[in-house]
Structure formats: C-alpha cells, structure tokens
Amino acid sequence: MNASPIGVFDSGLGGLTAVKELRKILPGEDIVYFGDTGRVPYGSRGKETIVHYAKQDIAFLLSKGVKSILIACGTVSSTLPPAVMQGLPVPCAGVVGATVAAAAAATQNGKVGVIGTEATIRSGSYEAAMKQLAPNVTCFAAACPLFVPLVENGHFLKGDRVAIPVAEEYLAPIKAAGVDTLIMGCTHYPLLADVIAEEMGSGVTLVDAGLQAAQQTKQSLANLGLLNGRQTGGQVAYYVSDVPARFNQLAQTFLGEYAGGAIEQINIEDYNL
Ligand code: DGL
C-alpha cells in the first residue's frame, strides 16, 4: 500500500478529462494535477520543445512526491522518448499503449482511425504501437488542429454549427477508409464525442484515450501494490503555470463536477529532470 498521490499532467486543462475518469474508478486516491496553462498548446510545437516542457512537468510532479505519473496529454505521450519514462524513479505511462490495446480489441474489420494534434499525428506513435501489438490492423490518421480551440471556446455540444463542418472536413478521409473504430488521441476530444459520433456514424466505436489510460493506471497500481486501499475521500490538488483565473470555467467543462480543491500557480521554469 502507498498513500502518496497519483501525479497527472497535461499541456493545459484538457487532462482533467483523465482526472475525471480516475476519480470515478479510484475515488479514494489523492491526485496531484499539473496543467501547463502558461505554455499550452503543445500540439503545434516541435519535438524538442515538447520534450523539454514534458521533462519540467515530470520534475514538478516528482517534487510533490507522487507514486506514479499519468501523462494525460496525447501530444506528450506520443513525443516523449520511452527511455525518459522508463528512467524515472516512479512508474510513468502515457495514453498511447492503453488506447491502442482497446482499439485493437474493439475493431472487427481491422481498420482503425486515429485523430490527434499535429505533433501526435506527425509522431506516428499510434501506428507504431499498433504495428507492435496487432500487425494486421491498419491505422488511418488525421490531425485535427482546430478541435482543441473549438472545445476551449465552448463549441463541442451535439449539433454545434461551428464544430460540425470542421469535423466533416477532418474526418472525411478516415470515414472514406471505412474504419469501424476511432481513437480520440487527445485530451479534448471526448467532449466532442457527440459531434464526432454523428459524423462517423453509429457503426463506429469511439475509444477515449483518457478513459483507457485511467483504467491502465488503476491496473498497474494494483499490480504493483501501490493503491492506498481507501474507497472514498480522495483529494485533488491542482497546479497551473499561468494565473488560475480561467481555471474554474474550464475545469467545469473538463471535469464535469468540479467540486473545488486548491489551485496554485507555480513557476515551471524552476523544475527540470
Ligand atoms: N493536451 C493536448 C493533447 O492531448 C492538446 C492541447 C495541446 O495541443 O497542448 O494532445
């Protein structure tokens, strides 16, 4: 048993979608969340910058004594070299492995779509992981750079007239490829699930990266004997790198039931691996 908190980080507040899932399945665990709100977005940046930022984010969480790290950000999960994750003093996993496993199990026709930020799609991470796990499954990937700002500006509900034409444009090639499963490989996309589902049609299974990664975190903490054994009462401490002003509004969007919890601004430049 280990009473230390679980660390979760993201380029911004989108990773709260993973926190929401973790809270549902591990309500007794404490969580430390870091959102790099001062430097978001990561998804349009180059590899070196993303790796540098991610190492600082990890160093901050380690300074808080976390027992494991969940990289909720699809962009970081796709870009950070596995050697960095494996070299940490605590178990650390991103969203790619768990998500690909779920998609491989879900597909019937061996055609899986992958959507994410530009950096995620450029990395080819999902295709590479699928090749390893299920070589007979073919991935069809598309970057959807406008999805993040759409969500952050409230354009994500079913029938949204701004989101629908954007989704049509981005998803057309994947739809034409005949996928029966679609990986939503970015923190923000679960909020657009209704719009995406409408566009893809009812026969397509959507795989939520945050949900899969949360379930994998629970499983691996259990396997390692690192759960704290409590069934209720877990607390979340939130840290951000920009002023916390927009936190309340966006946290509501991503967490659903943001019930409060301390929010603190930190200087992320003070941390490095
Ligand atoms: N959190 C990022 C991801 O999941 C989306 C936002 C960004 O581009 O930083 O890829």
The 10 Å CB-count burial string (b at 16+, else e) for 182-217 is: bbbbbbbbbbbeebbbebbeeebbbbbbbbbbbbbb
Q: Is 74 in the pocket of ligand 1 (CB under 6 A)?
A: yes
Copy the structure tokens of residue 81: 């070299």
Distance CA 271, CA 240 (A): 13
Residue 187 CA to ligand 1 centre (angstroms): 6
Residue 249 CA to ligand 1 centre (angstroms): 18
Average pLDDT over residues 169-183: 98
Each residue's pLDDT tens digit, 20-77: 999 999 999 999 999 999 999 999 999 999 999 999 999 999 999 999 999 999 999 9
Average pLDDT over residues 200-226: 96
Is the pLDDT assigned to residue 258 strictly greater than 90?
no
Distance CA 223, CA 39 (A): 35
User: How far apart, in Å, are the Cα atoms of 72 and each of 36, 96, 134, 169, 232?
Assistant: 12, 10, 23, 26, 23
Q: Is 148 in the pocket of ligand 1 (CB under 6 A)?
A: yes
Pick from 53, 99, 148 the residue to mutate for probing ligand 1's pocket: most ligand atoms within 8 Å of its CB. Answer: 148
pTM of the model: 0.96
Each residue's pLDDT tens digit, 119-162: 999 999 999 999 999 999 999 999 999 999 999 899 999 999 99
Pick from 49, 76, 117 the residue to mutate for probing ligand 1's pocket: most ligand atoms within 8 Å of its CB. Answer: 117
In this predicted structure, what is the pLDDT of residue 224?
97
- Whose structure tokens read 């409230």? 154
Each residue's pLDDT tens digit, 1-28: 899 999 999 999 999 999 999 999 999 9
Handedness of CA 213, 218, 224, 227 (dihedral sign): positive
DSSP, res 8: E
In this predicted structure, what is the pLDDT of residue 248?
78
Residue 116 CA to ligand 1 centre (angstroms): 8
Is the pLDDT assigned to residue 182 strictly greater than 70?
yes
Catalytic center residues: 73, 186
Continuous segment of H or E residues that includes residue 125 = helix 125-133
